[in-house]
């Protein structure tokens, strides 16, 4: 059975690199670079596989009314952490990557429902194993 995941990241480069490998796992994805579109996609219910969040940090320009939706449900978070909580509350498994050195951010992501949080840079084998663990 093919699983469809929602891929959210500020750059499509990671998706382009991993697309061949994850397709062998029976995973397809739709890519979104904004929280607004990600929230709309989550609410559509079309993602039986889960959410892959390429960054727990929302870069400049990602903030807007859509983050307020999440903050109303999760006042103790912002940015990518809110998206983790938003998806997890809807039963969507989450795999997240973060470049932050903060253990607190990684722990918060797990607390908010991420099944696994990897630290960047992560090698391809580690990321693929995490995809298998969380999405397959």
Instruction: Name the CATH superfamily, with its identifier, for domain 3-135.
Output: Response regulator (3.40.50.2300)
**Scanning the structure block, which residue is given the tokens 């992560």?**
122
Q: Is the pLDDT of residue 73 over 70?
A: no
- Percentage of the chain exceeding pLDDT 90: 12
Name the pTM for this structure: 0.80
Q: Per DSSP, what are the bridge partners of residue 7?
A: 31, 52
- Residue 76: per-residue pLDDT: 52
- Percentage of the chain exceeding pLDDT 70: 80
What residues have CB less than 8 Å from 116, skipping those under 6 apart?
A: 95, 96, 130, 133, 134
Domain range summary for the chain, segments of one domain joined by +: 3-135
Q: Is the pLDDT of residue 57 over 90?
A: no
Q: Is the pLDDT of residue 51 over 80?
A: yes
- Residue 49: per-residue pLDDT: 83
- Residue 35: per-residue pLDDT: 73
Among 120, 110, 114, CA closest to 55:
120
For 44-48, 50-54, 66-70, 125-129, which range has the lowest pLDDT when averaged over its residues?
66-70
- Residue 39: per-residue pLDDT: 81
For residues 53 and 95, is the Cβ–Cβ distance under 8 A? yes
């Amino acid at each position: 059975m093919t699983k469809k995941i929602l891929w959210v990241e500020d750059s499509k480069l990671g998706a382009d690199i991993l697309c061949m490998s994850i397709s062998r796992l029976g995973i397809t994805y739709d890519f979104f670079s904004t929280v607004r579109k990600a929230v709309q996609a989550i609410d559509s219910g079309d993602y039986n596989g889960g959410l892959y969040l390429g960054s727990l940090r929302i870069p400049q320009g990602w903030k807007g009314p859509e983050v307020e939706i999440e903050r109303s449900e999760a006042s103790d978070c912002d940015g990518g952490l809110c998206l983790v909580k938003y998806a997890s509350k809807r039963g969507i498994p989450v795999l997240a990557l973060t470049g932050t050195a903060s253990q607190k951010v990684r722990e918060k992501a797990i607390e908010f429902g991420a099944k696994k949080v990897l630290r960047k840079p992560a090698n391809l084998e580690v990321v693929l194993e995490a995809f298998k663990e969380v999405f397959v």
